[in-house]
Amino acid sequence: MLVSATEMLQKAAAGHYAVGQFNINNLEWTKCVLKAAEECQSPVILGVSAGAGKYMTGFGTVAAMVKAMIEDMNITVPVALHLDHGTYEQCYQCIKAGFSSIMFDGSHYPIEENLAKTTELVHVAHQLGLSLEAEVGSIGGEEDGVIGAGECADPDECKMIADLGVDMLAAGIGNIHGKYPENWAGLSFETLAAIKEKVGDMPLVLHGGTGIPDEMVHKAISLGVAKVNVNTECQLVFAEATRKYIEAGKDLSGKGFDPRKLLADGATAIVEKVKEKMELFGSVGKA
Ligand code: 13P
């Protein structure tokens, strides 16, 4: 069922595990993430960047597809449909389209403006039963045109945003969207611990989940991370499996060119990757 992310994240924070946000790009992606979640009996968050929403022809199409798919696939686990790194305008577009959760990324504004816009959006979201994620500091790298410098969040600013009653808080702790460079310094656990100290039980969000070593993910969860976002890793395994299919000439034999066959290995790879991450985050059996 489609739900806000509030309850699943509160349970995760209390139970010391994390719920995965897996970004979706098209029908296949959505189907694979839902299939993995149901098989793992895990709660799940479907992340939609503005770029992916546009690619799928609009947020309305995405919401209609997800709702219908949850029903047609008999999905029983809690599913949140969440805007990833939304602007102020995109948040309203997703509320109107029927999303169950939004992220307002006001991290590039001065803190006063981030606070003012987040205050308004929290109020609107909660009145309509949606959850809201806010951001302080910034996630390095680039995701669908959203570029961040990667500065670590100020724990006092995190507290100011948390006190607005947001449901989850993304705080920059040296994490980066996309692949991590060879010389990456790792996550700043001092920053994370200082933030946790200030914000208490607030579920924290770890963006840039692709390529973070397992032990760092576990440590981050032990320090209050209750949601981990994964996007690039599913794209990489999908591309690799699809390339192998083509390189093996499978599209040239029989009806191997049928898109349902051509995309099948890539889809299986996504399901396996999502299940692997759910195991890592500890959300299996927590639906
Ligand atoms: P990755 O693409 O690095 O997994 O990051 C995903 C993410 O943080 C979505 O907001």
Query: Would you list the domain boundaries of the chain?
Result: 6-281
How many angstroms separate the CA atoms of 94 and 277, rounded?
27
Most ligand 1 atoms within 8 A of CB, residue of 45, 210, 236 to mutate = 210
DSSP assignment letter at 207: -
Is the beta carbon of 268 within 6 A of some atom in ligand 1? no
Which stretches of the chain drop beneath a pLDDT of 70?
none
The pLDDT assigned to 146 comes to 75
C-alpha 22 – ligand 1 centre gap (Å): 8
The pLDDT assigned to 173 comes to 95
The pLDDT assigned to 9 comes to 98
The pLDDT assigned to 101 comes to 98
The pLDDT assigned to 231 comes to 98
Is the beta carbon of 233 within 6 A of some atom in ligand 1? yes
Cβ atoms of residues 233 and 211 within 8 Å: yes
C-alpha 51 – ligand 1 centre gap (Å): 13
CA dihedral 215, 220, 222, 225 (to 10 degrees): -140
Is 10 in a helix, a strand, or coil? Answer: helix
Spatial CA neighbour of 153 closest among 170, 176, 133: 170
Is the beta carbon of 84 within 6 A of some atom in ligand 1? yes
C-alpha 248 – ligand 1 centre gap (Å): 30
Is 84 in a helix, a strand, or coil? Answer: strand
pTM over 0.75: yes
Name the residue type at position 230: V
DSSP assignment letter at 179: S
Is 199 in a helix, a strand, or coil? Answer: helix
The pLDDT assigned to 217 comes to 98
**Which runs of consecutive H residues, i.e. helices, occur in 21-154?**
27-40, 50-55, 59-72, 88-97, 111-127
Kindly give the number of the ligand 1 atom that is closest to the alpha carbon of 207.
Answer: 8
Alpha-carbon dihedral sign for residues 199, 201, 203, 205: positive
C-alpha 122 – ligand 1 centre gap (Å): 23
Is 215 in a helix, a strand, or coil? Answer: helix
Residue nearest to atom 9 of ligand 1 (CA): 229
Phi, psi values for residue 52, rounded to 5°: -70, -35
Residues catalogued as catalytic: 84
The pLDDT assigned to 111 comes to 93
Is the beta carbon of 277 within 6 A of some atom in ligand 1? no
CATH of domain 6-281: 3.20.20.70
The pLDDT assigned to 147 comes to 75
